Structure 1
Amino acid sequence: MTMTATELSVGAQAPDFTMEASGGRTVALAELKGAPFVLYFYPKADTPGCTKEACGFGEALNAFEKAGARVIGVSRDPVKKLDAFAGKYDLTFPLASDAEGSVTEAYGVWVEKTLYGKTHMGIERATFLIDAQGKIAHIWRKVKVPGHVEEVLGEVEKLATAD
């Protein structure tokens, strides 16, 4: 049975992915299993909201790692742009490029958006906490940046103490 993005829910197997990422890295679900990780989707590198969110995750990275979790940001930006974004803000965690859009579609975050009365397709700001077995432990959709990193860290810490 193939799961459509709209059916993604807590407890479901996370959709598989392999993506190129900043710093010459590759991120893949198969390689991340064994420890929890945060997969957050953002619309566009080096825009105000996305920069605040990325810097928030960057500033809290030690706390996420202490809780045993990795952080990965995902957008449809090309790797070259992600490398520039990571360098500009000293972001050491992987920023993955879903240039062809298969991952954003699999996670149900490629949605119709409205801006100034015009509709277009874009990434809905969303975050998924994936557990060590590759199952979705928590989902945040339509994320508002203020307070979000702290909320995600709280769930990561709960997951760490539950194991």
Structure 2
Amino acid sequence: MSSYFLKNLYLNQELKLEEYEQIPYPRTELHIHVMYKATQMFSLLGFAVVGPITCLVKTKGLSQIANYAPKMGTRGLALGLIMGPIMTEATIRNATQDAIYDRSFRLRHNKRQLNADRFSTFGLLGGLAIHRLASFNPITVMAAGYVLGFVASMAIPVKE
């Protein structure tokens, strides 16, 4: 992974075309991207769908949703960490090196995807800061911050 990848993803720095083209580890960048997408989707589904449904089934009401939604969101995040690499390899197992490079190159230019990944990371770090200030479960608040960052990224307009 190159410093250009990190600058583009986390610091939102514009790169020159030559810098975009320097992708020493395209497969790794693709794995990172799919892992982000898997963790975002599974944790969002855990918080917003599986948690409330589990609460309804187990308690016959939504009185305990504050307990079930974070638990399922955190489990969704863990599942995404496991499924991300599996999904990546299943998708690219027959792909050529050029196809993998091309996909990584296009992902570096996709501002909406980069924003989602960036905001998720900053949300996770925000959750960690909240844990440090208050005595919440660190994994739960980090997962909640991760999901909130992802959701916030969808509301912010992106200049292409």
Does the TM-score normalized on the shorter chain lie above 0.5?
A: no
The answer to which structure, 1 or 2, has the higher relative contact order (CA under 8 A, 6+ apart) is 1
Q: Which has the larger radius of gyration?
A: 2
TM-score, normalised with respect to structure 1: 0.29
TM-score, normalised with respect to structure 2: 0.29
Structure number with the higher helix fraction is 2
Structure number with the higher strand fraction is 1
